[in-house]
Amino acid sequence: MVPTLSGRIQTRLFLLATVGVVVTALMVPLLPGMSGPPTRDYRVAYAVLAAVAVLGVVWELIYHFLMQFRWEKDWPSLFGLLTLIPEGLLLFFLLRSGAIGSLIDPVPPAAAFWTQFAVVWICVWLVANGPMRVPFIRWRFRGGRVL
Q: For 65-78, how does the pLDDT look when each residue is reduced to its tens digit (9 = 90+)?
A: 888 887 777 777 88
Question: What gap in Å lies between CA 122 and CA 17, rounded to an integer?
Answer: 15
- pLDDT tens readout for residues 113-130: 999 999 999 999 999 888
Kindly report, residue by residue over 53-110, the tens digit of the pLDDT.
Answer: 999 999 989 888 888 887 777 777 888 888 899 999 999 999 988 777 677 778 888 9
Residue 21 has pLDDT above 80, yes or no: yes
Poorest-pLDDT segment among 21-35, 87-101, 124-138: 124-138
Report the alpha-carbon distance of residue 68 to residue 112 in Å, rounded. Answer: 36
The tally of CA atoms less than 13 A away on the side-chain side of residue 129 is 13
- Can you give the pTM of this predicted structure? 0.86
Confidence at residue 113, expressed as pLDDT on a 0 to 100 scale: 93
Segments making up each domain of the chain, as ranges: 5-142
Q: Are 33 and 112 in contact (CB under 8 A)?
A: yes
